[in-house]
Each structure stands twice: as C-alpha cells, then as structure tokens.
Amino acid sequence: MSALKMHTSTGLFDTYTYTYSSWQSSETKSNTIFVLFLTIVILAHSTWTRCFLNHKDIPNEFWYRVPQSSGARAIAKQKEEDGRNIAHVFEKKQLDIVVFWGSQSGRGEVLARRLAKSFHDSFGLKTLAANLDDYDHKYLTQLSEKHVCGFVLSTYGDGDPPDDVTGLWNVLRTLQSTDSSLKSFRYLIFGLGNSNYRQYNQVAAYADGVFQNLGAVRFGPPGQGDEANGETESHFLAWRRMIENELKVKWHLTEKPHAHQAMFEIEEVPSMAMEKVNLGEPDSSVLGRNRSGDAGVSKALTISKARKLWETGDRLCIHMDLELGDTRAVKYKTGDHLAVYPNNPNHQVERLLSALGLSEKQDVPLVIEATQDNSDNKVPVPSPTTAQALFRHHLEICGHISMETVAALAEFAPSEAAAAELQRISHDAHIFRSEVLDAHLTFADLLVKVEEGASWAIPLSFFLERLKAMQPRYYSICSAAETEPRTVSIVAVVGKHPEDAKSQKSLHNGCYGLATSYLHALESAINNSTSDIASCDVPSFTFDGPRGQLSGQKMFAWIRQSTFKLPMRASVPIIMVGAGTGVAPFRAFVRERMRRKEVGQEVGKMLLFLGFRHSEVDFIYREEWEEARNTLGKEVFNYRTAFSRDNYQKVYVQDRLQEQAQEVMDLLQNQLSCRFYICGSASMARQVVEALAKMRSLYAEETATQAMAWVRKLRQSKQLLEDVWS
C-alpha cells in the first residue's frame, strides 16, 4: 500500500511506494490507482496555491469578485430587450416619429432617412430612421397615441418582403390571427414597387391592411412609388407633401425655412495609422445589415475563366467562372445567387473628387460619426475611411439623382448662375426628366454640367444622407453544385438599347449598369479584348481592390441562398420557362439532373421553354441543351425555343408554352408534385402566368378568376417558383 509523507521544507507531499508480493488482486490495483490520482490532485493544488500566494500584484477587488450573478445576467438581457422595444426607445429618447425602412436594394433606406430628416429640419420634430430588423415589433401594441411610426417598405421579387421585413411580417400575421387591437397605434406608410410585377407594392399594402383592420389610425393616404417608369421619386415627394400638410394641421406645426443640417460629423485625421482605415473592403456591419439569406461574408473570389458568348454592335453577353477556393465555409447549392460587389468607374470617382476639391486629400483618413442631434442614426458606411474609398467603393455615385437632391445642391452652388441653373432644373418635372434622368447624369456629370471647372463646397455628410450605400448585384448561378462544387458560373448581358439613343448613354459615364460594366471591364482586362459595342469605350475600373486584395483576377462576391431550388427527388417532373439570361438557373438544373442520371437515379420529365431575340446571335448554351437532350432522351428532357426578332412575327416563350398546353396541364394537374419555374424579366413572368391561367381556364373549364386563384395556390404551395427582376 502507498503512504504519503509531508516534506518538511516544501510543504508538499512525497510518495512512498511499498512493494506487494502479489499484483493480481483487483482491490490492490484499485487502491493504487486511487492513491496515484489523489497524489496528482494534491500536488497540483498545492503548487498552484503556493504560486498564487507569491504573486505580488493581486488587485484588492479580486478577493471580493464573484462570478456574474443571475441578477446581472437578467439586467443585461433586459437592457438588450429594451433596445429592441420601440415603445421604450420612444420614451427614453423622447421621440416624435420613428421612420422604419425595409429594403432589399437600399432605396428604401435612403427615402426613410430623407423622410425623417425632413420632419426634423422642417418642423423641429425629434425623429429617428431605423432598420426594421433592429427592433422586435411585438411591442407596437404598447405605443401610445402620441407616438407615430413611419414605414417605407419595398416589395421584393413578386410580392415577397425583403429580408429585414421578415420580423414585422411575422408579427403582423400573429396580430391578425389573434384579433389584437392597435387602436392607439398611429402610423404613415409608403411602398416601393414596380407595376410590372403582379404583386405590385404587396408588402406595404398588406401591412396597411392589417393596421387598418386592427383599428390603427393612419396619417394621410398610403403612398406608392412605381419604378416601372422611374416615377418613385415624384410619387414620394407628392406623398410626403400630403403627410407634412396633415401633420401641420393636426399637430399645429409651423414649417420653418432651413439650411442643410448635417447628420454626420466627418473629421480628417492625417496621423491615423492606415491599417485602421477601411479602404473599400466590404463591411457586413453596414452592407445589407440583415444578410440572413447569405451563405457567408464577402470573399475575394478568383475569376478562373471569362468569355464572350456572343456580341453584336450594341450588346454582348459574358460568361464568367469563379473559384470558391479551399474554404469549405463558402459553398453553394444549385439555384443560389452570386452577389457581386462592384466599384465605381475611375472617371466618375476622379471627376467627383476634383469637383469637390478633394483630389489632393483623397487618401486622408476620415472618422465619421453621427452628430449629437442624430446620435441614434447609424453611419451607413464603414468608419474610419477615406474620401476615395467613399466614392469608389461605398456610395452609389452613378445612380439616379433625385429632384430634391438637385434642389438642395443650390445651397452649395459656386456661383449665382449655378444656383439659378439648379433651381431651373429642379422646379420643373419635365425639365428634370429630360435633362437629368433621360440623360442618365451621374452626380459628377451634374456638377460639371451646371458649372464646369468650378469647385463645389458640398459637405461629405450631404452625400451620406442623399446617396445609397453601394449595394451588391445578384446573378443566378448557372453552374450545378453537384458537378462543380467549387466553381460558380454566372452570365450577364451588357448593352445599349437602341431606343435609348436619344439619351446619349455611354459606358463612359457608367450608365449601362454599374455591375455589368464592371464585369465587362474585367473580361476585357483578363482576355485583353476589345468591344464592338458601337461608339462606346469600356470604362476603366481599379481592379486590384483595397490593399491589393483583388489582384490576380479577383472580385468581391458571396453566395446568397435562394428558394429557387430543384425538388429533393430527381424523379419529380419540372417545367422551366426562361428568357435571355433568365435561362441561367435552368442550365444548372439540367446539369444536376444529368448527374443524377449518371449515378443511376430516376429522373423525372423536364420541359424547358427558352426565349431569345435571334436564333443565330444570342441563343446561349445551344450545344449544351442539345447534348442534354441526346443524353437524357427526348422522353425525359425536351426544350422549345422562341425567337422574338427572327421574323416579322414575334414569338415569345408564353406562345410556345401555350402550344404545349396539353402536356403542361397534364403534368401540373395530374402530377401534384410537378414544379413550374419562371426566370427572367418581370414583364415576361407576368405574361407567362397569364398564359398559364388561360390554359387552366380552358382545360378545367373555369372562369378567369377561378383560374388565377388556381395559379395563386400553385405559388402558395411552392409548385410555382419565380426568380424575376425589373
């Protein structure tokens, strides 16, 4: 048996081991193991205690410190909950109006900020502009009659709420199902949408309907901005005037003349270490604050291949392959989107910096903070940063300029003549449309047009308040995850529409579409190619990226998860309708089904309807469709094409769909698991759905109303899936 003896000098224990004549005894083995374990524990404890007591710098408070109590945790949790409780925030900050935004593209955020700022500047009201996703909307029932909530809500896709509206959406459904009362709730609402979509402004309309049904009181009419003809801005301004007039009457407000009041303080800090400065890296904390639908943060993805699929005098099509690398955290599924993060053309950045007199200071570190009066508003770009990074990477300087912004610029005009010119442009909607919108003027273009060579003293805060933060552009992935798990492919068209010739569009001013111009320039640089697009030069971009992160043919991008997916079972029949680059996800679908067939799985019937302009020009992936039909057999996969400009009689995908009405309706009505997919422009999708309803009406002998109700059921049950854009 072992014995323990105290060592007189160290205060530790020594072990003495006695030899036993027999080790076969299980009891002896157990005792030995126990003693060894006990010895190790005692030695470790004694050594730690001696070392601890010899430490000379133990703070006094250590002896009184205890682990965080349940009470402290409860306080922290309550503080976090209070921060998401809008009723608590109203009272704590003594707010009059909170304007929420829910937006997929960033347009709603800009309008919400402008609305809140207008209420503050015009009437002195205490306001806050906030992302819906930052609050828990179950607390709306706790608001009193003195609190007013504004909502600027976009409708995404074909009637879907944007990601950051999901929380409000769920609360509204709960309130509606439980017949809750909102009689003390006061609100105003403006919707953003596009009348080319069937579910035009559906999100705002639904929210307004629930509020009204539950007894809430609305200020003014519900506003609707229609982007179909570029009229969102004029609709917003007209609606805001009605709201402000009603507020003046009901709250006895007096409108005051006001100069620009900056929402953000911007300080130059030349001594700041540059490693602390954001030079244009995408920042997920400000870029799309709710990215729950994304598979990961932005990555610098390598472009392994870029090629032109076709080219004419005014349009071209680019196919691009990007490598996901070895990081398994970045992955995709067939049907997902690639979010591309572009930057602004060099020419536009340089012109704007020059007009503002910032060319020599473009790389000086800037610290951006909300002013004391606007301390609750979040800075929409990373900070610290630089003026060059702001205009090259973080702000949409090539986007549309609002009429209100043109009017506000008069305050900073370099001369009386320039101020008069700005007032002339901004006080007549027809002049504004003709000289600014139809001419596709960028911010820099406008300043040069008004007074070329002048230096404008416009504060940088003005740009942060008026321009959208740079937004990603989403492209349907046309590769299949099962066959190319580490490569994503996209396809994009760059072009100048002949009917827009009068607008004097040019790639030089970046108005062809920022992301497509960027992709075009990348393809040209990679292949050292030139473009045949008539009378246009490819704009120059900075390709190396901040700190050289994009050198070696890379671009910032990430995977955005989509619900536009194949059925889990490969045997489920599918019908696909796409036009132009809308065929991209169907290339991926067919490639995945071919792989399933290779490994012995049963593959269901696939019908594909493809729409293009010309059979010999823009019919993309022609060889691949034919190969798939030969491999799978016509009884499994077949496709029909529609070419709208080959002959005097235009043929569209909805025409081909109706020609196959019998087969299509048999699949949809007799095989309830069949899926129907539409991808392409919103106007095309609308016409396809109308054709589908006509087919149902004919084959089921239903009225048009009944047939459209059947289509809605298909959509609700996820049998009909759409991936559309305006």
Residue 545: both structure tokens together: 């990226």
* Structure token pair of residue 375: 């301390």
pLDDT tens-place string over residues 232-257: 988 999 999 999 999 999 999 999 88
> Which of 554, 580, 708 shows the shortest CA–CA distance to 199?
708
* Burial class (CB within 10 angstroms; exposed 0-12, middle 13-18, buried 19+) of 288: buried
The answer to whether residues 588 and 368 touch, using CB atoms and an 8 Å cutoff, is no
Confidence class for position 231, pLDDT limits 50, 70, 90: confident
In angstroms, rounded to a whole number, what is the distance separating the alpha carbons of residues 152 and 168? Answer: 12
Average pLDDT rounded to a whole number, residues 218-244: 92
- Residue type at 694? K
Question: Are the C-beta atoms of 494 and 315 separated by less than 8 Å?
Answer: yes
Q: How many residues does the chain have?
A: 726
Over range 96-113, report the average pLDDT.
92
pLDDT at 42: 63
CB-based contacts of 495, cutoff 8 Å, min separation 6: 314, 315, 316, 512, 533
- Return d(Cα 439, Cα 437) in angstroms, integer: 5
The residue type found at 443 is F
Q: What CA–CA distance (Å, rounded) separates 337 from 104?
A: 14
Q: Are 326 and 317 in contact (CB under 8 A)?
A: no
CB atoms within 10 A of CB 496: 20
Instruction: Look up residue 509 and give its two tokens.
Output: 């001013």
Instruction: Please work out, in degrees rounded to the nearest 5, the angle formed at the alpha carbon of residue 634 by the alpha carbons of 631 and 638.
Output: 100
Mean pLDDT over the full length of the chain: 86
Give the confidence band of 6 by pLDDT, cuts at 50, 70, 90: very low
The more confidently predicted of residues 421 and 73 is: 421
pLDDT in tens, 356-409: 999 999 999 999 999 877 777 789 999 999 999 999 999 999 988 999 999 999
Q: Return the sign of the alpha-carbon dihedral for residues 624, 630, 636, 640.
A: positive
* Alpha carbon distance 475, 564 (integer Å): 13
Q: Is the peptide bond before 345 cis (omega within 30 degrees of 0)?
A: no
- State the pLDDT confidence band at 511, using cuts at 50, 70 and 90: very low
Q: What is the DSSP letter of 94?
A: T
Beta bridge partners of 646: none
Say if residues 256 and 365 touch (Cβ distance below 8 Å). no
* Residue with more model confidence, 287 or 312: 312
**For the chain, which domains are there?**
3-53 (no CATH), 88-250 (3.40.50.360), 574-725 (3.40.50.80)
- Cα separation, 512 vs 726, in Å, equals 15
Instruction: Answer whether residue 267 shows pLDDT above 60.
Output: yes
The pLDDT assigned to 228 comes to 82
Q: How many CA atoms lie within 13 A of 506 on its CB side?
A: 12
Tokens at 699, concatenated: 């084959």
Q: What is the pLDDT of residue 31?
A: 58
Q: Is 701 left (phi over 0), alpha (psi -120 to 50) or beta?
A: left
Query: Cβ distance 142 to 87 under 8 Å?
Result: yes
Min mean pLDDT across 59-63, 256-260, 272-276 is at 59-63
The per-residue b/e assignment along 664-694, b for 16 or more CB within 10 angstroms, e otherwise, is: bbebbeeeeebbbbbbbbbebbbbbbbbbbb
- Predicted TM-score (pTM) of the model is 0.82
Cβ(707)–Cβ(693) under 8 Å? yes
* Amino acid occupying residue 17: T
